[in-house]
Structure 1
């Protein structure tokens, strides 16, 4: 556009006055600059760009652009040298929102921020408040065989701990570092009785791992010797990995329902895992599609035909 206007000025107006030509050039340059500033302001607030430059020069917090100028990633390091990634989207001037982070975000949902420094200071304080949460999760991950989630991170507020081939312990950790929603995945009477009696004596002065060991009267946590059935697949980097598959859908993951297949059949010679939703729907269908009482379906294991029950939800 600028070149075309310049050509028109020279060829059509044919200025024979140098001062007129310079004035025309100055006007064209000013118009082009105004248009460029308008486009830049429409893409992203110039103040944000200046703030990003200042943060980058400071060096204490990593800041990176995403796929567009409106997507950012901050990396905040805490006192224990943990690196926490925060993904941010620019909506309009003075309006930034948090898309995701490798942290529990329940208290941060739907919050709007006016600038990046406000986000940095808020999350630095939040990370300090999560110190007990980090400690408990790290202690669980170090001492226990974690069956789920796979590749657990600080964003995952729960762990499923291996007890035996048919039983896992589900436990959630609150941001304050307290254990909650503790229950068994599986129907082992042995572990169930220990858990029910032990929970009454939970000692809040002990950490979660020590409490679990006291409840189940163990000196160390069991380690799985085998996990069947398994599916062999290749990661993007070419490494081969195995994952537990469901005996009904023959998949490890369901698109709309997160979670691995579980040891829901308590027949020790069965060894087949199922997604809770798959087994529940199977049992309901076998019973004529009648809704089960109290949300608990009963019937026979699809593999070993032994009696089995399955609730609709994990609780």
Structure 2
């Protein structure tokens, strides 16, 4: 994920573009909008709101994946376009997403990949139209920008989970069917396989602060989320359960971003905290580094709210499909959270 390019493109992309909302750093809460369920044999629209996909076979893989799940697949008009590192111009990528929401024949939308660039299209989305045509949108990483914008501008629940080119292993497929097909109030607990070791070591969670809490789950990629701070697309985290993950960031950068969330008031608003995985986030060079555990001691422990780390959220093959904006109950000691109400109309 080219997040350094994202930071630069965010500033360049928003220059000269009119904002749809003139709200401050925190938009007022909007009534939650539930997406329509995906009908059996329905149609999945695939878009590319961020970086371009160099390997054209990835489009075929994504198409075959959802056909194997029993759906028809339609590719966005500009999904194979390219402008620099982006999948076409900002207008092209925004048009594809708007068209998928507007088209009544499309039942759900899947982002083929993340990368960087989704924030550039936020001012170009037709939020009033999207609000009138609620449907599931699935993706993660840079797609965090879309989840934040959809929730802050419309109240729509979207889904933080595997992209179209991601791994659709048995764990992810089973989750997809549980949530979208069977519409179960899913329990998000890490898969743990003991293997040949005396104890379970893989996918372990660790309690940061004990407790059980109920709230609206919001968040995503920490880099992308913190980059939206101060814009009208940043969600209102009042009484929310914040979840974050990241990839390829030194702990000092995670420190900087958590500091942003404290300074902009997010951490003082939340009721619970879940940290997923920080893939390849090892310290490099310098005079030493704070550990991630020390960062949670600095930023999360003083809040005295239920919190845990190690959830299957992030740049990993098996990852949770989280209904972003849904109400869940989180148990920090068990290291799990569960949907408490229906998430579809």
TM-score, normalising length from structure 1? 0.22
**If each structure's strand is expressed as a fraction of its own residues, which one has the higher value?**
1
TM-score, normalising length from structure 2? 0.20
Larger Rg: 1
